[in-house]
Structure 1
Amino acid sequence: MKLGEKLQPEIVKFLNHPGTDELLTSLLRKEWRKLLDKNIAEFEDKIGRDNLLPFIKQTVFRFVQVHEIFQMPISQLTATIRPYIITELIPKATVGISKLLADRISVLMEKMKLNEIVKEQVDSFSVERLEQMVFSIINKELRMITFLGALLGGLVGVFQGITAIWIL
């Protein structure tokens, strides 16, 4: 009897045994965890950079329908993460971009040469036009000051009235 003929029934018996599934699953999970702990550089060293990139591309194209994804509307692609985008991502991005712009505003002003543009525009205005602009700004600001004064005066009066009633 040949070795293969002797081993085949034992292999079949092992594979049909109820504990085999559990044993193989635990072994595969251990190996998967080991694999996850490795970094890409180790794979690159073993496989080679020239082979790694085509392998990744093939795998992605095999498991992800890239052509179908590019045909979908963005609203459909982002439907599952839309709440996260609206409640977290957009506010964080807005704060980050605002901070970045605030930190670099002087550099942006220099690159845009905004000072020169404003100076050229003001120089091109006639004196009458400049007077009109200044007076319109002054009128708006004086109206706002008057409104704020009336509001503050009213609030102080109400507060004094309440205080007087409370004390008496």
Structure 2
Amino acid sequence: MQPKGVLYFCKAERRKERVEDLITILVLVVIGGFIGGLTNSIAIKMLFRPYEAKYIGKWKVPFTPGVIPKRRDQLAKQLGQLVVNHLVTVESIQLKLQDHGLKQQVQKKFNKEWEHFLAQSITISQLSEKFQLDLNPDQVKRMIADKVMEQIRNFLQKSKQKPLQHWLGQTVTETDLEKASKILQDKGIDLLNNEETRHKIEVVIKHYAESKGFLGNMVLSMFSSEELALKVRQLVIDYLRSEDGYRWIQKAVKKEWTNLLQQEVQIIEPLFEKEETQQLLHTMINDNIPVEEWLEKPIQEMVSPFSEQIKEKVLPLLVNQLFAKLLDSVPSMLQQLEVEKMVEEQVASFPTSRIEQIILSISRKEFKLITYLGALLGGFIGLFQAILFIVV
């Protein structure tokens, strides 16, 4: 049997060895965890830093600049392709434009702006000044006159082979023709009662009688030319005033109107092309269009009678046409905007520090977890090394 002192010494040595083993395990676990966490932390930092390449003399320090600064151009290009191919695509934008909720929001915005517009009092002149437009009344009149003349020319050019009946057949009624016949009857009688007309008839009768020689002179010897003119004029006036005369005028008017309707539109083209006709039309338009009054009249006052119709019909139609136009224009708009190139240029122009802030603001928590995971794995590796060291 061993002495008690020897046993006590052996137990003390074993306790000492266990404590040393425990300290070794703890030290290796701490060192492993520290190295693992530090390594991951440095690796994350090296994604962004250093921002620029570092040199010792002419020798470039390895792993400088960081991964993202070094690949920033490639990253910008890849992000541009990502946005165009998977995020801001033609299909995604068109699908959003077809969303009924979006259309309703736009419709509400249009209605709100329309109500706000009606609550104001803005004249056309004030609106033109606001948008720095020079609206001179004389210039506006000329523009309207020129537009009217242009429309008339286009009408004559397109329709010159068509009969006038195509446009005028239903515009003049029997009552209108009767009124025209009555006017011609009255004008004819007024013309015959004119002193100048009486003198003309007298001269014509005198020349006619003189041209007939002896027989004519014999008539003039019995009746003077003045008496004959009075008798002829009175006979014509009495006939025009008679029922038979009125029917004759009415029949003549209807016949001429019917003949006119059978004519082609081109018969009035030479008349329109005359400078006097065009000048007359310009003068009529300038004298009869109250442009000055229009320009000083509030727009709201002019459109208020139609405000409900505009709100219920025009604005919805405008919104629908706007969305339809946008749907058709999305491919060309994206092509012209060059979204891929725009994103690439924007990312490429970002300072690296700004890119680091953006990524860290999104993934800071995940990066911390990666650091902690490195420390945990390092701790397990340290524990494994310690156990292996103790056993061996």
TM-score, length basis structure 2: 0.25
More helix by share: 1
* Structure with max Cα Rg: 2
TM-score, length basis structure 1: 0.50
